Amino acid sequence: MRGAIVVPSLRRSLVASVLVTVAVATVAMIGGLSATVGARRAVDHDTDALLGEQRTADEIVLLSYQQQLEALRYVAHPDSAARDAFQRLGDDADAHMRRYLFLDLSTAARLQVEVMKERHASFEVAAQRALELADRGDLAAARARMLVAGERGAALDSSVGRFLALRGAQRDALRVESQAVVSRVRVALALVGLGLLLLGLWLSRHLRGLVLVPLEQLTAAATALRGGDLASRVPPQRYVELARVAREFNAMADAVQATRETIEMQNEELRQSFDQLQQTQDELVQHEKLSAMGQMLAGLAHELNNPLGGVLGMAQVLRDELRDSPLEELRQIDAELVEPIEREALRARDLVRSLLSFARKTSGTVEQVPLAATIETAARLRRHAFVLAGKSLRVEVDPALLVFADRQKLQHAALNVINNALDAVAGEAGRAVIVHAVVQGGVAHVHFDDDGPGFANVRAALDPFYTTKPAGHGTGLGLSLVEQFLNECGGSVSVTNRPEGGARVTFTLIAAPAATESPGQLTGAPPRAAVRGPASGETLRVLVVDDEPAMREAQRRLLTLEGFSVLLAATGDEALAILAREHIDLVVTDLRMPGRQDGRALLAVLRATYPALAERTLVVTGDAEGASSAALPVSPERIISKPFTRAEYMAAIQRAVAAEGASGAD
């Protein structure tokens, strides 16, 4: 096809080169050897032929002389045997001469053979005449004729010699020519040898270019590749076989390079993943620690609730006693001593509740939650740190603002942001962190503003493991977890640097309609309800069941002050014993109690035995915040969380009494 590129084949080139070289060498050798051998054979043949001709010539002469002898003998004594011998010898001599007839003779030699024949014939005729004269008895004439025959025999002898000389000269010429041929052949062989040497040099050079250079290139490329130079490649080759090898090597190198790059990339990804994994593991460990700590705190909080409940209850009782005392001293004691006790006990209670709230597992339920209270719960945990750092943390959110969120997750998110803000304003960087919210179009934007240095990289701030803190001082997961928590709540988070300086983290949540009062979150003291039973007008008898003496005593004093008749039981069994013999209008029981009959068991017995009473039974527990309401045995409005204020406690009592009144007495 016109324009098609013909790629030379190495194999064909090598084969052709070798064949050409071998052919040339073979032809030269064969030619030289043949010529030399031929020349030598020709010389040997000529030598042998010359010797043969010499022998023939000798025979001819000998035979002619023998003929003469026979003729002389016959002349001396006529004898048929001699005559026959004479003839036979002549035939032999003629036969010998005929051997020369068909040789490759020169013209002179050939003519000389004819001369020999003629002289032999002439000799024979002369001798024969002598014999015939002898037959006729003319011996003198016969002898004279024999002399003539002898002369002719001598002439034959000289003609034979002349023939041999001519042949010798011819053969000498041939020998000289053969030697010249041999010399020429030797020269030719020498030239051929030189040519072969040059051809061999060229061939070796050519082969080097054909094979060795490409192999060296391939070796160098392979060595470089093995040494790490992934860019090493074999240059393009001329011949199709080597081009194929080069192409395959380069493809292999490309694959190796790509694989290595892939491996390096994957290694980098693995390293990053490992780092992330390590960080996640640390986070998980921390989380587990926190979880364990949370559980521990939950347990501790529960344990604290009881004595706190006792302290708070007693403090409130004492305040009731002292606040309205006519004695100034007593009122002063109340104000200076008891009120701080109540206040700190309440503070401790709030802290415990906050801890229990964070320790609680998230419900995963998006519900209406009070934004301010939820954020305050988180803020409360860190406010003391702010104070210690000389910074301020203010939550300026409308308490009535409700949002749709998972409470725990929102608390966690707020706590993470507050922690980051505290770190941001640490030292001389800033002074305050303010949390405020704006509702626009049904969306609540909660801003966490600080006056710190702001985000170094706003875009990466929410990326996992992004942190500007020194190693060991942060996992970089905080804000990414915030984002995750809010996304799970159906919200979002954004970060920015404030124009006036500092950072702003904004939660975006769906605002909920105006909140109705939660029965579990009543504040303020409910109005005092009547303490008498609605039907009989008698004082209501309340059975308080709690294994804590302080809690029993606190409740007794509170109920007594409110005009209830109170019976106390330390265990569920005691409570059942009292119920069996006494009329009880209302039972208020602790949930956790030692023994076989804890609060749950007691409730179960009440439902079975005193169903109406069970419907009114109140549960006092320190786990109200730590347990999900689904795990509580009664509805939320019948649960009193301890430690409780007097107002909270009495509100629950009043609701239970009111319900009894609505349903009729037991």
Partner 1 sequence: MPARARGPGAARADEGTRTARALALAVLLAAGCRDAPAPRIGLVMGGDAQSVSRLVLEDWHASADPAHRGLSLVDFNRRYTSDAAVALATAESLAAMPAVVAVVGHSNSSASIIASQVYNARHLVQVAPTSTSPLYREAGPWSFRLVGGDDRQAEFLADEVVKRLPARVAVMHVNDDYGRALRQLLFASLKARGVAVAYDGSYVEGEPFDADEATAAIAHARPTLLVWLGRSPQFGRLVDSLRAALPTLPILASDGFGSPTLVRDPRHRFDGIRYVRLVDVAHGSPALQSLRARYRQLTGTELTDQAALSYDALMLLAQATREAGADRAAIRSWLTALGKSHPAFPGVTGPIAFNEHGERVTGYTLVTVGDTLRAGTR
Question: What character string, x for contact with partner 1 (CB under 8 A) and - otherwise, covers 43-82?
Answer: ----------------------------------------
Q: How far apart are the C-alpha atoms of 248 and 254, rounded to whole Å?
A: 10
Amino acid at 228: G
Is residue 303 a contact partner of residue 638, using CB atoms and an 8 Å limit? no
Residue (77 or 459) nearer to partner 1, CB: 77
Q: How far apart are the C-alpha atoms of 345 and 358, rounded to whole Å?
A: 20
| Interface pick for partner 1 out of 60, 63, 105, 355 (rule CB under 8 A) | 105
- DSSP letter string, 409-437: HHHHHHHHHHHHHHHHTTTTT--EEEEEE
Residue (131 or 422) nearer to partner 1, CB: 131
At 497, is the secondary structure helix, strand, or coil? strand
292 forms part of the interface with partner 1 (CB under 8 A): no
How many angstroms separate the Cα of 460 from the Cα of each of 15, 424, 448, 505?
A: 68, 16, 18, 13
500 forms part of the interface with partner 1 (CB under 8 A): no
Amino acid at 358: F
Phi and psi at residue 547, in whole multiples of 5°?
Answer: -80, -10
| Interface pick for partner 1 out of 25, 62, 125, 605 (rule CB under 8 A) | 125
Residue (165 or 400) nearer to partner 1, CB: 165
Q: How far is the CB of 58 from partner 1 (least distance, A)?
A: 20
Stretch that binds partner 1, among 23-31, 126-134, 269-277, 628-636 (CB under 8 A): 126-134
The burial of 403, by beta-carbon neighbours within 10 Å (0-12 exposed, 13-18 middle, 19 or more buried), is given as buried
Q: How far is the CB of 166 from partner 1 (least distance, A)?
A: 7
128 forms part of the interface with partner 1 (CB under 8 A): yes
Q: How far is the CB of 110 from partner 1 (least distance, A)?
A: 6
Q: How far is the CB of 153 from partner 1 (least distance, A)?
A: 13
Q: How far apart are the C-alpha atoms of 644 and 492, rounded to whole Å?
A: 36
Stretch that binds partner 1, among 132-140, 414-422, 510-518, 639-647 (CB under 8 A): 132-140
Q: How far apart are the C-alpha atoms of 577 and 528, rounded to whole Å?
A: 31
211 forms part of the interface with partner 1 (CB under 8 A): no
159 forms part of the interface with partner 1 (CB under 8 A): yes
Stretch that binds partner 1, among 33-41, 131-139, 245-253, 472-480 (CB under 8 A): 131-139
Residue (163 or 239) nearer to partner 1, CB: 163
155 forms part of the interface with partner 1 (CB under 8 A): yes
Residue (105 or 297) nearer to partner 1, CB: 105
Q: How far apart are the C-alpha atoms of 490 and 475, rounded to whole Å?
A: 25
Q: Which helix (H) or strand (E) holds 519?
A: none
Q: What is the CA radius of gyration of the chain?
A: 70
Q: How far is the CB of 169 from partner 1 (least distance, A)?
A: 10
At 532, is the secondary structure helix, strand, or coil? strand
129 forms part of the interface with partner 1 (CB under 8 A): yes
135 forms part of the interface with partner 1 (CB under 8 A): yes
Q: How far is the CB of 146 from partner 1 (least distance, A)?
A: 15
């209008």: which residue's tokens?
Answer: 585
Instruction: Provide the token pair at 6.
Output: 């013909």
- DSSP letter string, 600-633: HHHHHHHHHH-HHHHHH-EEEES-TTTS-GGGSS
Q: How far is the CB of 35 from partner 1 (least distance, A)?
A: 22
């109690």: which residue's tokens?
Answer: 593
Q: How many residues bind partner 1 (CB under 8 A)?
A: 33
Q: How far apart are the C-alpha atoms of 415 and 428, rounded to whole Å?
A: 22
Q: How far is the CB of 154 from partner 1 (least distance, A)?
A: 12
Amino acid at 299: G
118 forms part of the interface with partner 1 (CB under 8 A): yes
- The closest of 364, 306, 329 to 549, measured between CA atoms, is 306
Could you tell me whether strands 402-405 and 432-440 are parallel, antiparallel, or unpaired per DSSP bridges? unpaired
Q: Backbone dihedral region of 227: left (phi > 0), alpha (psi from -120 to 50 degrees) or beta? A: alpha
| Interface pick for partner 1 out of 22, 51, 81, 111 (rule CB under 8 A) | 111
Is residue 362 a contact partner of residue 336, using CB atoms and an 8 Å limit? no
658 forms part of the interface with partner 1 (CB under 8 A): no
146 forms part of the interface with partner 1 (CB under 8 A): no
108 forms part of the interface with partner 1 (CB under 8 A): yes
- The closest of 588, 610, 590, 609 to 600, measured between CA atoms, is 590
117 forms part of the interface with partner 1 (CB under 8 A): yes
Q: How far apart are the C-alpha atoms of 107 and 103, rounded to whole Å?
A: 11
Stretch that binds partner 1, among 5-13, 87-95, 283-291, 572-580 (CB under 8 A): 87-95
Q: How far is the CB of 50 from partner 1 (least distance, A)?
A: 19
Stretch that binds partner 1, among 100-108, 280-288, 520-528, 534-542 (CB under 8 A): 100-108
| Interface pick for partner 1 out of 136, 184, 260, 271 (rule CB under 8 A) | 136
**Which residues contact partner 1 by CB under 8 A?**
87, 91, 94, 98, 101-102, 104-108, 110-112, 114-115, 117-119, 121-122, 124-125, 128-129, 132-133, 135-136, 155, 159, 162, 166
